[in-house]
Structure formats: structure tokens, C-alpha cells
Amino acid sequence: MQLNHYLNFQGKTEAAFNFYKSVFGGEFSFLKKYSELPDAQVSDKEKDYILHVSLPINEFTILMGSDTSDQFCAQSSTVFTQGTNHYISINLDASEQAEAKRLFDALAINGQIEMPLEKTFWGALYGAFTDQFGVKWMVNCQLEEM
């Protein structure tokens, strides 16, 4: 299992991560925009928003992030607030599916589920929630190669 920091922005992820890359060095290991979604139905304003970016910092840490979309915020009743745009991301491999479910279920007790733990189009078992103490979490169990 690996814990990483996941940052959300509203249209500023690309600029922020280019800045972080200039500070930490390295290259993005993953970068996708909303326009690359299967059956993408995003506004012109959001088509160049970042769906997901990963910047390896060292062998133990990956800084990850994305832009929030108006559509996603409306669907999940999430409000983007600068300063509270941070998640702890738990990342597991395919052999740890049971542990992913256990962690999701245990940490989400008395919390608010943003996205239930389920298989995604990017080949992972994924879910997100805010725990009972207001901490935002993501659980991502990668089932297939990206």
C-alpha cells in the first residue's frame, strides 16, 4: 500500500503541476484531460481541464491531482473550496482488492461517500469519501495496467 497526496484545482491543475515539476524535477507518469474521457461530454471551458496527472517525487511518493468539473461537483454535491482541495490517496495493487474494500468500508463509517467503491473505466477499483472527521480519502486498487 502507498499513501499519496491528491490535489484538486479548478482549472489550474496544469499550471500548478508544471510549477511542481519545475521544483521537484522529473516527468509526469500520467496526464489525461477531460476531453480524453470515453464519450466526453464536457463544456468548452472544461475540455482542457486535467482529469488526472501523476508526478513521481521519489520512489515512495507520487503527487497527483485533477481539476474539478462543474458537472462532477453538481452530481456529487461537492463544492470546490480553495484550501480544502486535498485528499489522501490510498493506492493498492490488484492482489489487494479485499484490503481496498476493508479500508474503504472502515474509513467511511459515519462519513459521506462521494463515489462508491466500484470498477472504473481506467481499470481500477476506486471510491472517494469524506470521513467522520472531515478528512477526504480516495481508495484506488489498480486492477489493470494503465
Domain containing 10 — which CATH number? 3.30.720.100
Q: Does 90 lie in the same domain as 114? A: yes
Grid look-up 482542457 returns 48
At which of 80, 115, 138 does a domain end?
Answer: 80
* Residues of the chain predicted below pLDDT 70: 40, 70-84, 146
At which of 51, 80, 109 does a domain end?
Answer: 80
> What does residue 140 show for φ and ψ, rounded to 5 degrees?
-130, 110
pLDDT value of residue 97:
96
Q: 118: which residues sit within 8 A by CB, 6+ positions away? A: 125, 126, 127
With left for phi above 0 and alpha for psi between -120 and 50, is residue 83 left, alpha or beta? left
Count of domains for the chain:
2
pTM: 0.71
Convert the pLDDT of each residue in 29-64 to its tens digit: 999 998 887 776 778 888 899 999 999 988 888 999
Angle among Cα 70, 53, 75 to the nearest 5 degrees reads: 25
Measure the CA dihedral 37/39/44/45, to 10°.
Answer: -40
Cell representation of residue 52: 488526472
User: In angstroms, rounded to a whole number, what is the distance separating the alpha carbons of residues 42 and 48?
Assistant: 9
